[in-house]
C-alpha cells in the first residue's frame, strides 16, 4: 500500500500493540529467570558492544556462556573474566581465536555476533548451520546479497534471528508508536527525516606500524581487503568502506529502521543519495563526512542527512528522526520523544526509561550506554520469546535486511550519482547492470561470498 495514509488503531490490528509487547517483556522475563531451561550461549566479537549485548542477555535469562571468540587475545581474556564474574555458574567460557572452531562444537542454543560488519554474513550463516539462533548486530551485511544470503539461510533452517536495531524495543519509542502513531494524532503522514550530526568520523592520519603479537590481523580482515596496519582497528574500522557502510550504515540504519517500524513500511521504491568528503579531507578515513539520501515510497519519502562536522540542525536532537503529519509533528531520539500538534492542542512528551535501580551492575559496566540498556534487554527477551513461541522476533532478519540494504543502496547511489530501484524478488537493480554488479562485493581469498551457495 502507499505510505501516505491515516494511521489509526485499525491499521495495526494484525500486530501486537506496543503496550502488550512492553508488558510481556516483564512477565516473560520473570518466567525466564525462574525456568529450568538453561540457554547455552556463545559470543563472536568480544569488544565493547559484543560484551554489552551479552551482559544484557545474562541479566534477563538463565544462560550459560559456553564459548567466546575474538582475534584479539587481550579482548578475549578480559571478556572471559567479566563473564565468569557475571554468570551464575561462575565458570569461564571456552576461548577461541577462530569462530569456525567454536561453531564446529555445535553445542550452542544462541550465538551473539558483535564482530565488525564485514564478518557478519559468513559468521551468521555458519552459526545458523551449526544449529544456533542468532542475535546479530546491525548492519547485517556490507553488501546487499550478503543480506539476502543470511535471510535465505535463516528461513531454510528455521532459526530465529534478532537484529540489533533495538529502537524497536525502546520503551519510550514503543509508547510513541502506540500513543501518537497508532492513535492517529499525526493524521496523514507523507514525510519523515532521519539524521545524525555526531562528530564520530575518525579523522587521524597515523603511520603504518607493526601488528602486535596478541592480535591476528589476517583473521580480522578475513574476506575484506587487508589495509595497511595503522593501529588496532577496534572501533576505527568504521572509518573505512572496506569494512562497513559508513555513517549511513552505522547510524541511519537505526533511525530509518525505526521510522519503517513506526509506519509499517517495507522496501523503498527508489533510493537516491549525494555527498562525499567535503570538509575532513586530510584524514585516512574514506567514508563520507557529509551525505543526504532519499528513500521514496508511494506519496511518502524519508530523507537522511549526516554531517560529521558543524552543528546539529536541532541541538536537542543530534541523532534521531522526525515524522511529519498534517496534524502535527513527532520528534524522537534515544532519549525522548515529543509530539507537537499543529495549532491548538497539547504537546506530549516522554523521556527514556532507565533501569539503574533494577540492574545496579549496569553502573559498573565499562562504556555502557545506560539509556539503551533497557532496549537491549527487551530485544533479548523478545528473541527468547520468539524461539519458545515459534514466531518472528520484533527485529527479524528480514526487517534488518531491508533497513541495511536500503542504506547500502544509498551509498551505491551516491557512488554512481543516480537513483536506484532494487527488485528484491529478482535480486537486481532495475535497468542498471552496473549497479547490479555492485550488489555483491569481491571477497579476498580464500574466503567465498555466501550468496553463490545460499
- Whether this model's pTM surpasses 0.75: yes
In-domain check, residue 35: no
Please tell me the distance from the alpha carbon of residue 98 to that of residue 381, in angstroms, as a whole number. Answer: 28
Cell of 293: 539520501
Phi, psi torsion values for 151, nearest 5 degrees: -60, -45
Give counts: helices (H), strands (E), the chain: 13, 17
Nearest CA-CA partner of 59 in 80, 39, 78, 81: 39
Per-residue confidence (pLDDT) for residue 296, from 0 to 100: 98
In-domain check, residue 164: no
Per-residue confidence (pLDDT) for residue 33, from 0 to 100: 54
Please tell me the distance from the alpha carbon of residue 403 to that of residue 317, in angstroms, as a whole number. Answer: 21
Which residues are paired to 192 by β-bridges? Answer: 302, 323
In-domain check, residue 227: yes
Q: Who's near 66: CB < 8 A, 6+ residues apart?
A: 40, 41, 42, 93, 94, 107, 108
Q: Are strands 336-341 and 328-333 parallel, antiparallel or unpaired?
A: antiparallel
In-domain check, residue 116: no
DSSP 218-263: HHHHTTS--PPP-S--TTGGGG-TTTS-HHIIIIIHHHHHHHHHHH
Per-residue pLDDT of the chain (454 residues; tens, 9 = 90+): 344 444 433 343 333 333 344 433 443 444 555 467 899 999 999 999 999 999 999 999 999 999 999 999 999 999 999 999 999 999 999 999 999 999 999 999 999 999 999 999 999 999 999 999 999 999 999 999 999 999 999 999 999 999 999 999 999 999 999 999 999 999 999 999 999 999 999 999 999 999 999 999 999 999 999 999 999 999 999 999 999 999 999 999 999 999 999 999 999 999 999 999 999 999 999 999 999 999 999 999 999 999 999 999 999 999 999 999 999 999 999 999 999 999 888 999 999 999 999 999 999 999 999 999 999 999 999 999 999 999 999 999 999 999 999 999 999 999 999 999 999 999 999 999 999 999 999 999 999 999 985 4
Please tell me the distance from the alpha carbon of residue 192 to that of residue 158, in angstroms, as a whole number. Answer: 35
Per-residue confidence (pLDDT) for residue 343, from 0 to 100: 87
In-domain check, residue 33: no
Per-residue confidence (pLDDT) for residue 232, from 0 to 100: 96
Residue 80 burial (CB count, 10 A): 19
In-domain check, residue 14: no
In-domain check, residue 85: no
**Residue 428: which H helix or E strand, with range?**
strand 428-429
Structural domains of the chain, count: 1
Residue 253 burial (CB count, 10 A): 27
3-state secondary structure 150-215: HHHHHHHHCCCEEECCHHHHCHHHHHHHHHHHHCCCCCEEEEEEEEECCCCCCCCCCCCCCCCCCE
CATH number at residue 315: 3.30.360.10
CB burial of 30-42 (b: ≥16 within 10 Å; e: otherwise) equals eebeeeeeebbbb
Per-residue confidence (pLDDT) for residue 35, from 0 to 100: 61
User: What is the extent of the structural domain holding 416?
Assistant: 185-355+397-453
Please tell me the distance from the alpha carbon of residue 229 to that of residue 211, in angstroms, as a whole number. Answer: 7
In-domain check, residue 53: no
Dihedral sign computed on CA atoms, order 428, 434, 435, 440: positive
Amino acid at each position: 500500500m502507499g505510505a501516505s495514509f491515516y494511521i489509526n488503531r485499525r491499521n495495526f490490528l494484525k500486530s501486537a500493540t506496543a503496550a502488550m509487547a512492553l508488558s510481556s517483556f516483564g512477565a516473560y522475563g520473570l518466567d525466564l529467570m525462574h525456568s529450568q531451561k538453561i540457554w547455552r550461549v556463545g559470543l563472536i566479537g568480544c569488544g565493547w558492544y559484543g560484551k554489552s549485548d551479552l551482559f544484557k542477555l545474562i541479566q534477563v535469562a538463565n544462560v550459560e556462556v559456553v564459548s567466546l571468540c575474538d582475534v584479539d587475545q587481550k579482548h578475549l581474556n578480559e571478556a572471559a573474566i567479566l563473564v565468569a564474574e557475571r554468570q551464575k555458574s561462575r565458570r569461564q567460557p571456552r576461548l577461541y581465536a577462530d569462530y569456525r572452531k567454536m561453531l564446529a562444537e555445535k553445542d550452542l542454543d544462541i550465538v551473539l555476533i558483535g564482530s565488525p560488519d564485514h564478518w557478519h554474513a559468513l559468521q551468521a550463516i555458519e552459526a545458523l548451520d551449526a544449529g544456533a539462533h542468532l542475535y546479530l548486530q546491525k548492519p547485517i551485511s556490507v553488501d546487499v546479497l550478503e543480506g539476502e544470503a543470511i535471510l535465505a539461510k535463516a528461513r531454510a533452517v528455521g532459526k530465529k534471528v534478532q537484529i540489533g536495531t533495538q529502537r524497536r524495543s525502546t520503551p519510550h519509542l514503543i509508547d510513541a508508536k502506540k500513543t501518537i502513531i497508532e492513535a492517529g494524532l499525526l493524521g496523514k503522514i507523507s514525510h519523515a527525516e532521519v539524521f545524525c550530526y555526531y562528530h564520530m568520523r575518525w579523522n587521524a592520519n597515523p603511520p603504518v606500524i607493526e601488528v602486535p603479537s596478541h592480535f591476528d590481523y589476517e583473521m580480522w580482515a578475513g574476506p575484506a581487503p587487508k589495509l595497511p596496519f595503522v593501529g588496532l582497528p577496534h572501533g576505527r574500522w568504521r572509518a573505512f568502506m572496506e569494512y562497513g557502510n559508513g555513517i549511513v550504515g552505522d547510524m541511519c540504519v537505526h533511525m530509518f529502521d525505526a521510522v519503517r517500524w513506526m509506519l509499517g513500511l517495507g522496501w523503498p521504491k527508489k533510493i537516491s543519495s549525494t555527498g562525499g568528503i567535503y570538509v575532513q579531507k586530510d584524514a585516512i578515513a574514506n567514508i563520507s563526512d557529509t551525505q543526504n539520501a532519499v528513500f521514496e515510497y508511494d506519496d511518502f519519502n524519508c530523507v537522511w542527512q549526516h554531517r560529521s562536522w558543524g552543528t546539529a540542525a536541532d541541538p536537542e536532537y543530534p541523532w534521531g528522526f522526525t515524522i511529519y503529519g498534517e496534524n502535527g509533528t513527532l520528534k524522537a531520539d534515544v532519549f525522548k520523544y515529543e509530539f507537537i500538534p499543529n495549532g491548538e492542542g497539547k504537546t506530549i512528551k516522554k523521556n527514556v526509561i532507565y533501569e539503574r535501580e533494577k540492574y545496579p551492575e549496569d553502573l559498573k559496566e565499562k562504556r555502557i550506554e545506560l539509556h539503551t540498556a533497557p532496549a537491549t534487554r527487551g530485544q533479548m527477551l523478545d528473541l527468547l520469546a520468539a524461539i519458545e513461541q515459534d514466531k518472528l522476533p520484533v527485529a527479524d532478519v528480514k526487517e534488518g535486511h531491508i533497513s541495511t540494504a536500503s542504506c547500502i543502496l544509498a551509498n551505491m547511489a551516491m557512488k554512481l550519482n543516480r537513483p536506484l530501484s532494487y527488485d528484491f524478488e529478482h535480486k537486481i537493480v532495475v535497468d542498471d547492470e552496473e549497479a547490479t554488479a555492485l550488489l555483491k562485493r569481491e571477497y579476498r581469498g580464500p574466503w567465498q561470498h555466501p550468496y553463490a551457495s545460499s
